[in-house]
Amino acid sequence: MNRMIYVKQTSHVMHMISIIGAGKVGSAAAFDILRFRTSDVVLVDVVENLAQGEALDMMQAAPAIEFDGKIRGTSDYSEIEGSELVIVTAGQARQPGMSRFDLAEKNAKIVKSVVKEVAKYCPDCRLMMVTNPVDVMTYVAYKESGFERNRVFGMGNILDTLRFRSYIALELGVSREDIRGLVIGEHGDTMVPLVRYASVSGIPITELLTKEQVEKIVSLTRSSGSDVIRLKGATTYAPGVVIAIMADAVLRGRNRVMSVSTFLQGEYGFSDVSIGVPCVLGRNGVEKILELNLDAETKREFEKSVASVKEATKKTYKPA
C-alpha cells in the first residue's frame, strides 16, 4: 500500500523591510508583516532598547505564527541598508482633542531627519509614509528624498476605506467581506467617502440605504479615528494591518487598487500637493494613478480637501 507523505514547504523570506519607529503602530505593523510572511523586518527607533525589545518579543512569537525569517531591532540607521521598502511611522502621536494638522510642524522636523538617513542608506527603496498628518508628511518626504514620485507614497485613505466599509456592513447587517468602497482626499476631517462607488456584492449602497443612513455612515467614517483616540488614546491594530497590506502589495508586486497619498502633477486638475487618490500599488510603488469622473458635489468636496492639505503643507514645509 502506497502512502502519500505531505511535507509542509517553508522557505526563507528574501525581502527586507525597514520600519522607522517602534511605537504602537510601527510594532503592530511589523508583527502583521511577519504574520503575513511578507518579509524580514528591521525595526528602528531612537529610544534606547525599544526596538530591540519589540523585536525580541516578536521573535519569541515567531514559532506560533510559523515565521522563519528575521526580525531585528536597532537604533542604528545603517542597518536599514538594502531594504526594498522603508516605512516611516516615527513622530509624535496624536493626542485626544488634536487634529492631525496640529502635529505637522513637529513631525515635519522628525520626517526630514529620517528621510535624510533613508536616502543615505537606501537610495533605491520605496518609501511609505505613515506619520501624521500623512498627506503633508508624504509631501515633505518626496521633496526631501529626491526620489521619483512613484517611490514615495503615504497610507492615505486605505484606513479610511476600511472604516467606511465597516460602517456600511454594520448598518446593513451583512458581511464586511462583501462591501466595496473608496475614500479619497485628506486623511482627516475633509476626507471624501465616494458613496456613488460603494457597493455590496456589486449592488450600489444607494439602492439599499436611505439618504439619512448614508450621511450617518459618512459622518462616522470621518470621525472614527478621533473616536478611537478619545476612547483608548491611539489607533493601533487598524493602521498596523493597513501598513502590512500595503507592504504586501509592493513587495509581491500585486498591483492592488488603493487610495494612496501621492504627489499630484496635474491629475484631477491639481499639482504640487500630496493627497489620497486611487492608485495601482505594486512593485515600483505607485504604478499608476486612476482618475475617476467625480460628480459636481464630490468634486467640490475634493477641492476643499486639497485646499486644506495645501494650506497645512504651506505652513509646515519650508524648503532648505
- HEC string of the chain? CCCCCCCCCCCCCCCEEEEECCCHHHHHHHHHHHHCCCCEEEEECCCCCHHHHHHHHHHHHHHHHCCCCCEEEECCHHHHCCCCEEEECCCCCCCCCCCHHHHHHHHHHHHHHHHHHHHHHCCCCEEEECCCCHHHHHHHHHHHHCCCHHHEEECCCHHHHHHHHHHHHHHHCCCHHHEECCEEECCCCCCEECHHHCEECCEEHHHCCCHHHHHHHHHHHHHHHHHHHHHHCCCCHHHHHHHHHHHHHHHCCCCEEEEEEEEEECHHHCEEEEEEEEEEEECCEEEEECCCCCCHHHHHHHHHHHHHHHHHHHHHCCCC
- Active-site positions read 187
C-alpha span between 198 and 91 (Å, rounded): 33
